Amino acid sequence: MRGLAWAGGLAPLAVLAVRFGRDRLGVNPIETLLHWGGLSGLILLLAALSISPLRRATGVNELIKARRTLGLFAFFYAVLHFLTYAVVDQGLAMGFIIEDIKERPYILVGTTALLILTPLALTSTRGWIRRLGRNWARLHRWVYVAAALGVVRKSPRRHSGRIS
């Protein structure tokens, strides 16, 4: 089961590599990378969250072995998404980033989701599970908040109806 989770987690990277190799990142490669990272992270996060209900519905307890791997891959892609934005797109220019957040609040929402996912990823080892005891489960319930924030997206531009 973990092998399938690894294959699923690496699949977006393989698709990106093929698209890059064929020069198929489009006219705005940075925007393509941003969408790719965010969407890949969200899909894998939702896949990880679907494991428990799927396991209960099917009775296939082996599915649980894939959950942590999928969740960590989701975090990996969320970090790549953030780094693409902050480093590649904005060049770590805090003034531009702050201005961007003011104009486009969904950036703040996404950053908040990443900040929530960070301690979850860091405490996903057996050692942390043991150290935190019951508090581990309480902490990891925040994944639902992160997932809800992850589906918030920018509003599509509305057409004014005027001809420019």
Q: Is 117 exposed, middle or buried (0-12, 13-18, 19+ CB in 10 A)?
A: buried
| 30-62 confidence digits (pLDDT tens) | 999 999 999 999 999 999 999 999 999 999 999
- Measured CA to CA, the distance from residue 23 to residue 29 in angstroms comes to 10
| 99-117 confidence digits (pLDDT tens) | 988 888 889 999 999 999 9
Asked whether the beta carbons of 50 and 66 are under 8 A apart, the reply is no
pTM across the whole model: 0.86
120: three-class secondary structure by DSSP: helix
Residue 114 CB neighbour total at 10 angstroms: 18
